[in-house]
Structure formats: structure tokens, C-alpha cells
Structure 1
Amino acid sequence: MPAIRLRTAIAALILLPAAALAEVPLTVTDAHVPASLPMARAGTGYMTITNTGDTPERLMAVEAEFARGMLHETEVEDGIARMIHMERGLEIAPGETVMLEQGGAHIMFMGLTAPFRPGHPVPVTLIFENAGPLEVEFAVRPQGSHGDHSEEMHREHREDGTVEMHHGDGQHEE
């Protein structure tokens, strides 16, 4: 009898993570990064997240082996765009769809260890407050496709996660 209980317990432990993943009330679509130049030190990531659950969710962090991931939001004041690190994460209300896109909330990948190359997707882990980690594969799109930030816009990020640039010309304010 104890052997049967042990097998049942082991089976339950093995199936538990699969059951937990099946209950994640989030859908991530259109996850992508623009291709980067060979010497690029930073890149951007975009996606659409839908909360299909009944409770609020929050994207807290982004992890990747190829760079340090940070959630940023673009704010424009007096014609100057400023990238701000989203220290509290990104809230996604029940039933809400949030787009991470150029000119709004997006992911910054700082300290790239290799360039993003079309046809070579990159694995990223999204850390949610309630759902926990969610593995997502980001497609690499050619430069200039939808959602592309130029490398010039992000080359001089500050340690506090902010950067200022003149809106529309891709140049930083010094």
C-alpha cells in the first residue's frame, strides 16, 4: 500500500507544474525584437499581453540570458521623449489587452551579448506577480519593421533606467 501512495504522490508532483501552467490566465502574442546592428549594446522588445482571468496581473520583470531586461515606458513632455524604468511593473486588468510598442511601454534589453538576427528567435522569461514565470520566444524581425527603435535612441541609457532624446529625430538631449 505505501508503494501505491508514493507513486501517486510522485505522479501528482510531476503533473502539478503542467496543471499550474494550464491555468495561467495570460495570452502573449506578437512577441518580437527588431534585428540589431552587430555592435549594438541594447535592443527593444514588443508584444501584446491579454489577461483572460478574473484578477489583475502585473508584469514585474523580464529575464534573458543574452541581456538584462528592463520594462520601460516612453513619456513625451515639451517635445522631448524620456524613457522611464517601470519599477512597479506593468498592470494588466482582468479582460484587458496591453500592447508593448514603440512610443509606449516596451522592454529594453541592455548589454546584449550578441546581435539579434532575423530567423534566430530569442527566449525570454516574463515574470508576473501572480502567474510567476512565463517562457516566451521572441521572433527577430528585420530592422525598420513595425515597432523598431533605432539603435541611436538607446545607446546612452543612464544607470537609473532613463534616457532623454529629442522627439522624432532619434537624438539624445545632453
Structure 2
Amino acid sequence: MKFKINDDDAVNDPYLKKFMNIYENIAAKDHFNISHIQSTELFKYSKDMIIVKPVNKGEDFICTFCGTHIGNIYGMDITGKHITETNPEQPSKLIIDLLNETLNKNDFIYLSTCISREGFREIEWHQVMIPFWRTDEIREVLCLISTEITKDYSPLLKAL
């Protein structure tokens, strides 16, 4: 799996751009927090969100929320699972490093990749990682993900 960090495809993804415009309006006035995510304006994005918090001083992250669309792509709800449980070793390390960077720099990071599922479907995956406050003391990272199936051979396989 090859990742592109802060590449134009993710930065210019229309779905992510729309969300980021709302985010930037909020962040200009306040710490981005859970109440903002639960607002009517942003709740519609929840199906495409993953929220993670650091564990073991940032050596890993645990998923505290997995949107339904993302769960369908993973083939399971990853809420309660660690990054190291849901990704191969090499991508896990990079993802953990980027999540820590998001929190340490208090800034967002874009990420793109193409993933293959079930050996017959390719999904273009763009995401933005955003630091936010669960409470005054607990910081987490919200990942908003935009996906598009770019190749789907499943109808051909079903016909065989």
C-alpha cells in the first residue's frame, strides 16, 4: 500500500473540501470538539469518520468511533480496535506517526492511497486527519474519509 501525504488529490477532494470549509469556520472561533461533530451541520459526515485516541503514550491509537460506511469498507466495525490490529505492520507505523504529528503540531494532514478489498475491488481513499478535543483534557484525532470504487470486478465474479 503506497501513501501520498498532503497531495493535491486529497486536498482538492470536493467532499473533504466542503467539510474543511465548515471546520475552518469553527476552528477560527473555538477548539474543534465533540459538540461540533455532533452538530446538524457536521453529523451528516459521521458515516465517513473514524475517531482515534492515543494509547501507550502514542505508540498506538484506538478507534473510539467508526462510521458505518468506513466499517463496510473494512468489513467490520473497528470501534475498540487498535491501529496495529486493523492495518498491516508497515502502514500502521506510518499512520501512527501521522496521527501523532497531527496532535503534536495541532494541525491537519491529508493522506491518499488506493486499497484493494477482497482481491476484486479497488478503492481510492482520501482522508484528512484533524486534531480535536473530546474534553478539556482529552485530545483525539478525527479522520474524515472520502472513498470511490475505481475498479469493481465483483459482478464478473458473481456471473462465473
Instruction: Confirm or deny a common fold (TM above 0.5).
Output: no
TM-score range, shorter chain: under 0.3
TM-score when normalising by structure 2: 0.25
Normalized per residue, which structure has more helix? 2
TM-score when normalising by structure 1: 0.24
Normalized per residue, which structure has more strand? 1
In terms of Rg, which structure is larger?
1
